[in-house]
């Protein structure tokens, strides 16, 4: 819901300022319509329903996997596609994966979003409406900005959304912002009061290979990115999660694990190995054996390593897969 539009509308209707807060409290608690907001006068509920769209987004498609993962393809009012995912874990965690942009200006070769055309930055309301979509389905408590887009290239809107996520049940400590290594954004996050978690998409320890997979590495080289992460840690004392997507025959050898261990300080970084969800890129995921050997080598060097649970693979829940599929028809 566009709360600026709501506020203007309430002012035009001559309503007191506290109405905005009332509407937001209902919305953040999972209300599905103005009609349900029973502490608002009926005529006001009707007037709001006419003047303020309940969501800035419409649902174009929804896919549900047997593991409880729900993925939605959404659309902005001006027709831009984006995706969001709800992941349910056995320990009861309900985690959201949100998009910060429609499409992405970066062109990581393995990523379905990177192959699409960049649309635009999403507004804070468009980011919050993804979370509210799922909040209407279930209580939620964790969030990662690992959907479409580079959140640190749209940091004002991401931070504005993060300031309101606690009202939905998602604290900043349970919110992670994932970046390709956009240094100005890492620096701003380090100076920011919100205790957000930082995740770094690393994918290759060697500069040549990283530039081949992630062209942004030419602009912000890995050594500089790691130095920025170290400053973030010095300031916030929060461990940084390194994401490393496992690509068969590309970045998954034991020697490459050793190279990775050599550049990461284990007191600052933990590695999360990501089984690759194959997309139309032609790249293949590593075998479970290769992933286990890679993880063991990192551990041997004292670096904490986990293998990400794959959720929703049967519904193409990886970054950009639904939107890219819809664009292909
Ligand atoms: N731009 C940010 C956030 C979006 S991508 C970033 O790059 O960190 C979130 C994560 O999903 C990244 O680590 C990305 O490498 C990973 N990813 C992208 N495509 C994937 C795929 N097909 N399979 C598995 N992980 C993928």
* CATH code of domain 1-54: 1.10.150.530
Which one of the listed residues 7, 12, 83, 229 is annotated catalytic?
83
226, two tokens: 């790691």
In terms of Cα–Cα distance, which of 197, 191, 295, 293 is closest to 240?
197
Residue 320, pLDDT score: 60
d(CA 227, CA 241): 15
For CATH 3.20.20.70, list the domain ranges present in the chain: 56-328
* Ligand 1 neighbour 146 (Cβ under 6 A): yes
Atom number of ligand 1 nearest to Cα 200:
8
Which one of the listed residues 104, 108, 229, 319 is annotated catalytic?
319
Atom number of ligand 1 nearest to Cα 148:
4
Can you give the pLDDT of all 329 residues of the chain as single tens digits? 999 999 999 999 999 999 999 999 999 999 999 999 999 999 999 999 999 999 999 999 999 998 899 999 999 999 999 999 999 998 999 999 999 999 999 999 999 998 888 999 999 999 999 999 999 999 999 999 999 999 999 999 999 999 999 999 999 999 999 999 999 999 999 999 999 999 999 999 999 999 999 999 999 999 999 999 999 999 999 999 999 999 999 999 999 999 999 999 999 999 999 999 988 888 999 999 999 999 999 999 999 999 987 766 666 655 566 565 555 43
Residue 278, pLDDT score: 87
d(CA 151, CA 159): 9
**Is there a catalytic annotation at residue 83?**
yes
For CATH 1.10.150.530, list the domain ranges present in the chain: 1-54
Contact 266, 227 (CB under 8 A): no
* Ligand 1 neighbour 243 (Cβ under 6 A): yes
**Is there a catalytic annotation at residue 319?**
yes
- Ligand 1: centre distance to CA 22 (Å): 37
Q: Which CATH class is domain 56-328?
A: alpha beta
Contact 271, 244 (CB under 8 A): yes
SS3 97: strand
* Ligand 1 neighbour 201 (Cβ under 6 A): yes
């Amino acid at each position: 819901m566009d709360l600026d539009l709501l506020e203007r509308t309430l002012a035009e209707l001559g309503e007191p300022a506290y109405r905005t807060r009332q509407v937001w409290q209902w919305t953040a608690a999972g209300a599905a319509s103005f009609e349900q907001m029973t502490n608002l006068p009926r005529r006001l509920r009707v007037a709001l329903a006419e003047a303020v769209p309940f969501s800035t987004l419409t649902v174009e498609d929804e896919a549900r996997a047997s593991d409880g993962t729900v993925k939605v393809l959404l659309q902005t009012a001006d027709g831009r596609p984006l995706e969001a995912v709800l992941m349910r874990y056995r320990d009861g965690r309900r985690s959201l994966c949100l998009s910060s942009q429609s499409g992405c200006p970066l062109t990581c070769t393995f990523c379905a979003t990177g192959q699409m055309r960049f649309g635009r930055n999403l507004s804070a309301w468009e980011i919050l409406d993804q979370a509210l979509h799922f909040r209407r389905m279930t209580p939620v408590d964790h969030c990662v900005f690992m959907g479409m887009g580079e959140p640190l290239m749209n940091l004002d809107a991401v931070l504005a959304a993060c300031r309101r996520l606690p009202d939905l049940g998602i604290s900043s400590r349970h919110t992670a912002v994932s970046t390709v290594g956009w240094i100005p954004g890492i620096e701003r996050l380090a100076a920011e009061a919100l205790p957000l978690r930082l995740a770094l998409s690393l994918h290759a320890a060697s500069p040549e290979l990283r530039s081949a997979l992630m062209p942004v590495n030419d602009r912000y080289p890995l050594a500089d990115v790691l130095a920025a992460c170290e400053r973030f840690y010095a300031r916030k004392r929060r461990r940084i999660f390194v994401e490393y997507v496992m690509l068969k025959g590309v970045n998954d050898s034991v020697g490459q694990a050793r190279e990775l261990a050599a550049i990461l300080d284990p007191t600052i970084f933990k590695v999360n190995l990501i089984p690759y969800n194959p997309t139309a890129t032609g790249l293949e995921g590593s075998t479970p054996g290769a992933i286990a050997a890679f993880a063991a080598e990192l551990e041997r060097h004292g670096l904490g390593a986990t293998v990400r649970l794959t959720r929703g693979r049967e519904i193409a829940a990886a970054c950009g897969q639904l939107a890219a599929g819809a664009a292909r028809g």
